[in-house]
Amino acid sequence: MIAVPASSYSIDIESEPGWIVAVAGVGWPDTVVAVNAVRVNYTAGYGEDAEDVPQAIRQWILLRVGHWYENREASIVGAPVEPLPFLNGLIDCYRVRRIA
């Protein structure tokens, strides 16, 4: 396995799916033409333990699941279960917004 330093690439988050793009003038290691010749490992999240997740996000999850549970009959019938209007305010400060 060869690790490529972060200074050798940039991440295109505007495309779907996202791309890892070489920085101009920086060479990439040679690869073979084969399925899975290149793999990308990344870590996302807040940590290993549930306690590492901010309390507001854990509370949002509990309220959302509780609301779905209390209104489970509506989803079986086919009527949409509307989220509580204040609920997303709990996690607004944790949202990542793209600026076009």
Q: What is the DSSP string of the chain?
A: --PPPGGGEEEE-SSSS-EEEEPTT-------SSTT-S------SS-SSGGGS-HHHHHHHHHHHHHHHHTHHHHHHT---PPPTTGGGGTGGG------
The whole-number pLDDT of residue 53 equals 92
The whole-number pLDDT of residue 75 equals 62
User: Residue 1: is its pLDDT beyond 80?
Assistant: no
- Is 19 part of any domain? no
Please give the single-letter amino acid code of residue 89.
G
- Is 75 part of any domain? yes
- Is 16 part of any domain? no
Task: Return d(Cα 37, Cα 65) in angstroms, integer.
Answer: 40
pLDDT band at 77 (very low <50, low <70, confident <90, very high): low
How many domains does the chain divide into?
1
Residue 62 belongs to domain spanning: 50-94
Which range of 31-45, 56-70, 79-93 scores highest in mean pLDDT? It is 56-70
pLDDT, tens digit, for every residue of 8-58? 888 887 876 778 888 888 878 888 888 888 887 777 788 889 899 999 999
CA 34 to chain centre: 28
The whole-number pLDDT of residue 78 equals 63
